[in-house]
Amino acid sequence: MKYIIKFKNLLILMKKYNWLYLMFMMMSSLFMIFLNNFYSMWIFMELNLLIFITLIILNSNFISDKSMKYYLMNSFSSMNFLFFFNLNLMMDSFYFLIMINFLMLMKLGMFPFHYWFIDMLVELNWDMLFLLISWQKLIPLMILMYCFNFNFIMLISLMGGLFSIMMIYTQVLLKKIIGYSSINHMGWMLMSLMINFNLMIVYFLSYMLINFLLIFILKKFNFIEVNSMMIKFKGVVYNYIILMVLLSLGGLPPLYGFYMKWFFIQEFNKLYNLFLLMMLILYSLMFLFYYFRLMFNFTMLNFIMLNLFMFNKFIYKELNFSLLLYMSLFVTLNMFIFFM
């Protein structure tokens, strides 16, 4: 017991240096841009793995198996990546290339290797969850850029999008909802990676920004389940902020999330693969429908309760001003798009 207390005190002391580990983790990912050798990429990938595991341990309230789970899955994929890459150098084979793609998809938590990814998201806090669904996906994506197989990635993207839609409609935990949404967006990122690396970076940064805003609000109010959003959410301003963020994540025009998909659609038209494009758009529309249904639980019902039980004039002024501001912004952006 004495040693456990000392260990916890040591973790509290080391939390002060989270910024240092974050800086090293970002540097290990950014250095991948300047590397053109798979051995060097493997070294930085392992370095990034160790740093992120350290962050998970430091930001855990109690000792659990989540750090070991992440270590086993990623070390297994990294070790086999090195093995199959060496085999591919000796015997250039299509099957070795497919195995490398499989291993990078395992690191991404993409379907059908999503089980560890969803379980990890449930156990992590909001800060580590944000890093896992965003920044930790950069290194596997950059490795896939050099060795992807178009037909294989296309099949995985379609299956992952369909699977995430089937699973999200039965979920009540917000962390699982974010995880399945990440799998759906990962299909768009994988397809944009095969078209243009700059397009993938734009989509990745846009997705990262939207999730940062969403997770900031969820962490601020300590939301766990969908129903808790209806109970705890009090405040007109935050209602409209999370409304805009969720609809932007779903890709509703003219919000910010629509433009990152619009750029992808324009570039993807050059490949003349309309079936794949229509399937990805259909998946996004289904996710958008779910976000509309989710928003009704706390935005529309809170608005009704506000009219029935609150008679404060200041609240009515704040509500009317927010509605007027949103409607004017909506009309202005639509006019801008029309005249472009």
User: What is d(CA 84, CA 140) in angstroms, rounded to the nearest whole number?
Assistant: 15
The answer on pLDDT for 205 being more than 70 is: yes
31-35, 164-168, 223-227, 228-232 — which one is most confidently predicted on average? 164-168
- pLDDT value of residue 15: 58
Higher pLDDT, 126 or 234: 126
Higher pLDDT, 338 or 5: 5
Tokens of 224: 């766990």
User: What is d(CA 74, CA 138) in angstroms, rounded to the nearest whole number?
Assistant: 14
Average pLDDT of every residue of the chain: 76
- pLDDT value of residue 169: 79
CB 182 within 8 A of CB 111: no
Confidence band, pLDDT 50/70/90 cuts, at residue 229 = low
Torsion over CA: 210, 150, 288, 298 (sign): negative
What is the share, in percent, of the chain residues with pLDDT greater than 70?
76
First vs last Cα of the chain: how many Å apart?
A: 67
Give the domain ranges of the chain.
2-220
The answer on pLDDT for 83 being more than 70 is: yes
In a 3-state reduction of DSSP, which class is residue 91?
coil
Q: Tell which residue, 273, 287, 61, has the closest CA to residue 186.
A: 287
Confidence band, pLDDT 50/70/90 cuts, at residue 82 = confident
Confidence band, pLDDT 50/70/90 cuts, at residue 236 = low
Count CB neighbours of 302 within 10 A: 17
Q: What is the mean pLDDT of residues 302-322?
A: 46
The answer on pLDDT for 271 being more than 60 is: yes
Task: List strand residue ranges (DSSP E) for 182-258, in order.
Answer: none
- pLDDT value of residue 197: 82
Confidence band, pLDDT 50/70/90 cuts, at residue 110 = confident
17-45, pLDDT tens digit by residue?
577 778 888 888 888 877 778 888 888 88
- pLDDT value of residue 66: 74
Confidence band, pLDDT 50/70/90 cuts, at residue 88 = confident
- pLDDT value of residue 338: 39
In a 3-state reduction of DSSP, which class is residue 61?
coil
Q: What is the mean pLDDT of residues 177-195?
A: 87
CA angle 112, 219, 209 (to 5 degrees): 65
Give the CA distances from residue 228 to residues 231, 283, 298, in Å, rounded to whole numbers and listed in that order. Answer: 5, 27, 9
Q: What is the mean pLDDT of residues 199-220?
A: 86
Confidence band, pLDDT 50/70/90 cuts, at residue 303 = low
Confidence band, pLDDT 50/70/90 cuts, at residue 301 = low
The answer on pLDDT for 274 being more than 70 is: yes
Tokens of 67: 């750090």
119-147, pLDDT tens digit by residue?
888 888 888 889 888 888 888 888 888 88
- pLDDT value of residue 266: 82
Segment among 141-155, 235-249, 266-280 with least mean pLDDT: 235-249
The answer on pLDDT for 155 being more than 60 is: yes
The answer on pLDDT for 167 being more than 50 is: yes
